Amino acid sequence: MQKSKSEKKEFQPYISADQILPEFTGTSLTIGLILAVVFGAANAYLGLKVGMTISASIPAAVISMGIIRGILKRDSILENNIVQTIGSSGESLAAGAIFTLPALFIWSAEWNLGTPNLLTITILSLLGGILGTLFMIPLRRALIVNEHETLPYPEGTACAEVLLAGEEGGEKARTTFLGVAIGAVYKFLTDGFGLFPSEIETIIPGYRGAAFGADILPALLGVGYIIGPKISAYMLSGAALGWFAIIPLILYIGSGGQVTLYPAQVPIGQLDHWGIWDNYIRYIGAGAVAFGGIFSLIKAIPLIIRTFRDAIGGYTKSGTGGDDDVRTDRDMSITVLIIGCLAVILALAMLPVVPVGFPGALLIAVFGFFFATVSSRIVGLIGSSSNPVSGMTIATLIITAMLFKATGNDGQAGMIATLSVGAVICIVAAMAGDTSQDLKTGFLVGATPKLQQIGELAGAVVSALAIGGVMTLLNNAWGFGSSELPAPQATLMRLVVEGVMGGNLPWTLVLTGVGIGIAVELLGLPVLPIAIGLYLPLHLSVAVMAGGLVRGWLDLKYKKSNQDEIIAYKIESGVLYSSGLIAGEGLIGILLAVLAVSGINTDLGLNLGQLGGLFAFIILTLTLLRQSFYKRKEGRTGNE
């Protein structure tokens, strides 16, 4: 305990603990709640459309600075931090909801049950959002404070840099907002005007099933720079295993006959590489991620025990967490945490509109704690954008469906109960990851943890009240599973539940992923980044690797030099610029979602093709090089 305190004293946040600034105010609460609903709705559409959501922390921070500092002429970085904390919770809750709950709408249509109960969807979202936040709070000191030097939390760090840039102004602000401008323009050119594709791909000649591609987007480039070359390379290695080895192997074996392997509905020989990835690789990846998560939990048991021992031991007689005398170390009351968690579990077990029952509530308590811990650590390592929430949910669904089926709770009621358990876990994992990123931002800028935690809960409540209506509206407009709203994750979750309940889940694929995870662990390599790369499309890892290579080149050039000041300046400048790229894409992505929902088409009908997209991404990468590797500190002379 004393060690953690001394470590904490070594780090001085931007706003010191003895400074008192406006923080959780009516202004920050109001703006934050509005942004939570807006971001949640916009990201619900994006997730249902393309299977991905956009982190809202940095966009919320940028908008907050524009309103509070620009329009209202108020000067408090802590107010802006509360706004982004509340606003980002809407996106996280929406991600957990839309990755699972649309399956209820699909089943209702297939079984002629009518529209799912809106109250059920709202309560599942609400209880999952509250539980995810509460589960993460006791882990704050272990993950955010004690491991400050080892867990980078890329989005949380990037958000802090954006807030600091807006506060300090000068060159730092110019670098950040240059990134915002370039990221925004780039995003609008590709996904707004359709001037070039945001994804490029080429088939490898003579090697059937092998393909190489990249999602050429600013946010992925920025995340790669922030997390660095090593973690980026781990992710790419997992993707390479899937796309250059397993996919071609499956196509080679299945090309000579009419073998149809569930969940594919057509013979393997008729599938392309995307069909193999969608039907098979994601199951293998889910198995690897599940093993990585379970093994990470086993290895983290000493840390978890120490975490809760420190958390409980650090609670003072006044009932607040951490050191009550230090503003930047105050957590919510342990009494509130315990009562809140118990109340949520009892509500899940007893409310008639929540179809999980006591067994489901018990599973949620166990899996919820497990995946909240794993999610909080994963996002600290590789960022929220690569957090395999759907992989954790698949693992939950498989185990839950097996248990429910074994106890006779099968059929339609059993499938709905299983999916409801998975939905709450999915939301818990998403919210825990978002809470940890936000608390990292607060740790860097000098926020009050307790106020951030209250803000997370407020954002979760408001977002949960809105998400059910948004999903119902979107389903009524286009229907989940349609070409307009394919809902890829929710469709996969449905197949998993139906596969286990029907006895035809491809266990060989899942266990293949487990075997790969065991092999990676025996090699002494980190399982989760590699498993995540296997689970996600290659295209994401390639773009992330591009940013990691820029950072790696910079690190390599100055590794053996004594120019510590120069290297620190260049790295910081690159992080600032990367943060701007993430923010710029996030802002325009949300704007495009609003335009799409409004039916406004911005496509110019002029597309320069993949070569045009590749050229644009090269130019974008060169701008990152310019703002990091070739960046010169103002006032310095001579060769750097």
Q: Tell me what the mean pLDDT of segment 218-232 comes to.
A: 87
Write down the pLDDT at residue 149. Answer: 81
For residue 609, is pLDDT > 80?
yes
Whole-number average pLDDT of the chain:
85
Write down the pLDDT at residue 320. Answer: 45
With CA atoms as reference, report the closest residue to 626 among 542, 566, 570: 570
- pLDDT tens for 475-498 read 887 788 776 677 877 887 888 898
Write down the pLDDT at residue 309. Answer: 63
pLDDT band at 258 (very low <50, low <70, confident <90, very high): confident
Within 8 A by CB and 6+ apart from 626, the residues are none
For residue 365, is pLDDT > 60?
yes
pLDDT band at 51 (very low <50, low <70, confident <90, very high): low
Decide which of 216 and 587 is more confident. Answer: 216
- pLDDT tens for 523-551 read 999 888 898 889 888 998 999 999 999 99
For residue 119, the surrounding DSSP H or E stretch is: helix 118-136
> Looking at the chain, how many residues does it have?
640
For residue 249, the surrounding DSSP H or E stretch is: helix 247-254
- pLDDT tens for 288-300 read 887 887 777 677 6
Contact predicate 381/231, CB 8 Å: yes
Write down the pLDDT at residue 483. Answer: 65
Write down the pLDDT at residue 170. Answer: 60
Write down the pLDDT at residue 595. Answer: 82
Decide which of 57 and 322 is more confident. Answer: 57
- pLDDT tens for 384-418 read 766 778 778 888 999 999 999 999 888 899 999 99
With CA atoms as reference, report the closest residue to 81 among 154, 22, 140, 148: 22
Beta strands in 138-240 (DSSP E): 199-203, 211-215
Domain extents in the chain: 2-182+262-528
Q: Which residues pair with 200 in a beta bridge?
A: 214
For residue 465, is pLDDT > 80?
yes
Beta strands in 464-532 (DSSP E): none
pTM, entire model = 0.75
Q: Which of 29-38, 90-99, 198-207, 595-604 has the lowest mean pLDDT?
A: 595-604
Decide which of 359 and 52 is more confident. Answer: 359
Q: Tell me what the mean pLDDT of segment 169-176 comes to.
A: 71
Write down the pLDDT at residue 370. Answer: 85
Measured CA distances, 356 to 128, 304, 413 (Å): 13, 28, 10
pLDDT band at 564 (very low <50, low <70, confident <90, very high): low
- pLDDT tens for 173-195 read 678 789 889 999 999 999 899 99
For residue 7, is pLDDT > 50?
no
For residue 16, is pLDDT > 80?
yes
Contact predicate 488/51, CB 8 Å: yes
Q: Label residues 208-225 b or e (16+ Cβ within 10 Å = b).
A: ebbbebbbbbbbbbbbbb
- pLDDT tens for 495-509 read 889 888 887 778 889
Percent of the chain with pLDDT over 70: 90
Query: According to DSSP H, which parts of 261-319 are helical?
Result: 273-276, 282-299, 301-313
Write down the pLDDT at residue 4. Answer: 44
For residue 307, is pLDDT > 70?
no
Rounded distance between C-alpha atoms, residue 400 and residue 417, angstroms? 9
